[in-house]
Chains A and B, each alone.
Chain A
Amino acid sequence: MTKDNRLNVTRRTMLLGTAAVLGSAALTGLSTGMARAQDGDVLRLAVTGSNADSLDPHRTQGQLTDIVRFTNLFDGLCEFNPDTSVANVLAESFTPNEDATVWTVKLVSGVKTHAGGDFGADDVIYSVKRILDPANPTKGGSLIGFIDAEKVEKVDDLTIRFTLATPYGPFREIWANRYLRMVTQDFDPAAPVGTGPFKFLSFAPGQESMFERFDDYFRGKAGVAKVQITNISDETASINALRGGQVDMAYKIPFAEARILEAEPGIKLLNNPSGMSLPLYMRTDIAPFNDVRVRQAFRLIADRDMMVRAALAGYGEVGNDMQGRSIAPCGPTEVEQRKQDIEAAKKLLEEAGQSGLSVELATVNGTSGMVECAQVFAEQAKAAGVTVKVNVLEEAAYLANYGEWAFGVDFLNDTYLPLVARSLVPGGSFNNTHWDDAEFNALFAEASASSDEAKRCEIISKMRMIEHERGGNIIWGFANILNAYSDRLQGLETYVVDSAFYHLRKVSFV
């Protein structure tokens, strides 16, 4: 009897203990729920970052957390509209001379900095010199390499004159790039002062940062009082945080999860028709891809609809072996859509003496779809008698040979001319195809020198036709960029180049 009693006590204690644990757990849960309701004016974001995080808009490695932070702390002279067209921000006007070698930039007056001062020409000159500092190479520096830092002059407090060595037509457009944000003089990344819609409160690299609304923002106050940016590297974890109400916006949504999220109550999907292509690049300077027939054969192997459906879960658009999903303000380039044609591909390979070709395709688990598109392509190649061995590498290993792979997958997202500068002409750091086409290069130089928009569009159209005809990339599709957010938010727009995350001043609670 005693034994049973004792056992009962034990069991009872255990049950009581369990109940106590669950009860206190429920209470903690309730209290967090209440806290949640109270700080409704804090916009909380889940973004992917790393321990390399910084608050420096120029000397950054370009991870998303950094970009989201500095695009909201600092303004550029210009910014992207939701399509690829460009709007002025800190700049009021850009005036070129006759041959586009001297550009006079007038700034908007009355812009206040977070420190309470006036933003002016000296700040712009300081920022440009900082971006071009040869001792600290920056991502922005490679975009405005045509500017001589010594030839940026102050005309008056709100006017700057840039004298260029060679003509540069799309001078205004380049300033919309996110890596060309303006800081204030004597900038200190530890206590960043800018002109942006939010000002700095706190920052812990790789973890969390907190900003508050800048009440004197020259384009009107932001819609929320505070912004909290949390680093969450795991995609699933960031979706869970959104589902559980811990964050209001999540940047990285994998394609596979999108359909499920779209159907979920309380959550909305932001489906950005981004200009991001995932090209399969072929090195045009070495065998077998130095033979244009082999390149065309590979382009004919691709069943692009299938690749968009399988690698991007349908969240994307078929490509036609030309960069630029949108080349606004220019109109579309009229070229017939290339489709899968296995017979034609076989014939071309036979003519090139490369029937039964076997190649290795290097890819990396970078952005969603990079591995999947390679696998789908390898499957499709079998029909043409081509063996494609997909080599999925770890990022560091992929980068170690970057630019050397004969056949690989990359991703690029930019407007057309900057993208060409970086990836389709000699000297571009992303020119993986090692493409050096005299006619194409000449057209690019001409387009860069022209400040006449209509003429520039005409040249761009010709350039894209050359890409389609003999380029080194299989541009099978453009991937949408998917974000998700709580339906308690409003003011989020889809962007081609930028992101709603870079324009948080427009976001507010319903």
Chain B
Amino acid sequence: MTSAAPQTGLAVRGKSVSWLGKRLAASLLTLVLITMLVFAATRLLPGDMALMILGKDATAESLAALRAQLHLEDPLWRQYTAWIAGVATGDLGYSVISRVEVAALLTPRLQATLSLIVLSLAVSVPLALVLGFATARREGSVGDKLVLFGSVAINALPEFVLGMLLVILLSTNIWHLFPAVSSLSPGQPVLHQLDKLVLPGLCLVLLQVTYLYRLVRAAVIDVMTSEYFHFARLKGLPEGLILRRHVLPNAIVPAVIAIGTIFAYSVGGMVVVETVFSYPGIGSALTQAVGTRDLPVVQAAVLIIAVIFLISNLVTDALAHSITPPGKGGQK
């Protein structure tokens, strides 16, 4: 196929497949590099896993025995390959601190994190779209300015301040509506404990909406000042049709990319929210494991977060790639 040849449907698909292939290969390479980096970094941390397990009372003999048992004296490359071999067969190893399988420890954590993120996005995405459209169409009005000011103010608050404000307002001091602490009861599905998700969820929704809606608003305003929008109006097309046909497709792209970024970032990055509400997510599991030098858990948690990050980026890019209107550099 030469560049001058007209693009057939097949060629476009072929291009997309090779694009996807390249992206997959790059992601895999990134993943391998991440595992190596994490492995090296955990080994560079000051402190000793054996000492953290046995505590201040440990004798030199018991420390040496435990180190040998944990293969801490083996060369780094051997420890790494042993771990990778396990990961390849789906075995993430044992948590040295809890003495349970890493997978058993992290699965409920991951479920908790994903439930919270998905639920919060389910609320904030439609809300951001509605708010973005509504304010863009009234750009410069008092209402628009108020919402904009409020969103910037909320976004400027550190997460823990926002979290604490919500706790004070809705849980401990003003109204006693929701549990202040979101530690989930084990053995019960997350969805049966929705009351505990309200405050951390609300905190995330506020942070997400205030950011997302501004993207939508900016994109809508951008479209509304474009020539094709004015042309469509002059043609006398109904407002709803213009919105659906012209504004939405253009305004949704930055929002989709942002949603993907928020999702990917939140998996490991909502540690602060998890801490404020004592919510048992994967981010706080990771920070705890770093503190106790539970290296198998650290490695597995970072790996999981990285995989989710890469997958979500890939999906977002593919999605954005396919919905970008031709006029903005997308395919026909």
**Residues of A that sit less than 8 Å from B by CB:** 2-3, 6-7, 10-11, 13-14, 21, 25-26, 28-29, 31-33, 46, 50-53, 61-62, 137, 139, 142, 202, 204-208, 230-234, 236-238, 240-241, 243-247, 394-397, 399-400, 402, 429-430
Contact = CB atoms under 8 A, between A and B. Distances in A.
Contacts of B47: 394-397, 399-400
Contacts of A137: 54, 57-59, 62
A400 B59 CA distance: 13
B331 interface: no
B276 A234 contact: yes
B183 A207 contact: yes
B160 to A, nearest CB: 9
B201 to A, nearest CB: 10
A396 B45 contact: yes
Given A51-B292, A208-B185, A240-B167, A400 B278 contact: no
Interface of B: 45-48, 51-59, 62, 95, 97-98, 100, 105, 123, 130-131, 133-134, 137-138, 164, 167, 171-173, 175-181, 183-187, 194-195, 198, 239-240, 275-278, 280, 285, 288-289, 291-294, 297
B130 A10 contact: yes
Given A50-B292, A61-B55, A232-B278, A204 B98 contact: no
A3 B138 CA distance: 11
A177 to B, nearest CB: 14
28 contacts: A2-B239, A3-B239, A14-B130, A21-B123, A28-B177, A28-B194, A29-B175, A29-B176, A61-B55, A137-B54, A202-B186, A206-B280, A233-B278, A234-B276, A237-B180, A241-B180, A241-B278, A243-B171, A243-B172, A244-B181, A395-B291, A396-B48, A396-B293, A399-B48, A399-B51, A399-B55, A400-B47, A402-B56
Contacts of A51: 95, 97-98, 105, 285, 288-289, 292, 294, 297
A244 B194 CA distance: 17
Contact of B186 (A21, A33, A204, A241): A204
A230 B180 contact: no
Contacts, number: 159
A207 B173 contact: no
B177 A25 contact: yes
A402 B280 CA distance: 31
A7 B134 contact: yes
B172 A244 contact: yes
B190 to A, nearest CB: 13
Nearest to B47: A396
B270 to A, nearest CB: 14
B251 to A, nearest CB: 15
Contacts of B134: 7, 10-11, 14
B130 A230 contact: no
A244 B164 CA distance: 13
A205 B100 contact: yes
A284 to B, nearest CB: 19
Nearest to A35: B195
Contacts of B276: 234, 236-237
Nearest to A136: B62
B180 to A, nearest CB: 4
A234 B278 contact: yes
A62 B56 CA distance: 11
Quick one: which of A33, A62, A204, A206 has the most chain B CB within 10 A? A206
A204 B187 contact: yes
Quick one: which of B48, B138, B178, B239 has the most chain A CB within 10 A? B178
A2 B240 CA distance: 10
Contacts of A238: 181, 278
B186 A244 contact: no
Given A241-B181, A244-B167, 12 more contacts: A25-B178, A29-B195, A31-B195, A50-B97, A137-B58, A139-B57, A233-B278, A237-B275, A240-B180, A241-B180, A399-B48, A400-B51
A394 B291 contact: yes
Given A7-B137, A32-B195, A394-B47, A52 B181 contact: no
Given A206-B98, A395-B291, A396-B47, A234 B183 contact: no
Given A10-B134, A394-B47, A396-B52, A244 B176 contact: yes
A246 B179 contact: yes
A45 to B, nearest CB: 12
Nearest to A241: B181
Given A52-B292, A394-B47, A396-B52, A243 B278 contact: no
B143 to A, nearest CB: 9
B176 A33 contact: yes
A294 B293 CA distance: 37
Contact of A237 (B51, B56, B277): B277
B51 to A, nearest CB: 5
A233 B176 CA distance: 22
A28 B100 contact: no
A28 B177 CA distance: 8
Nearest to A51: B98
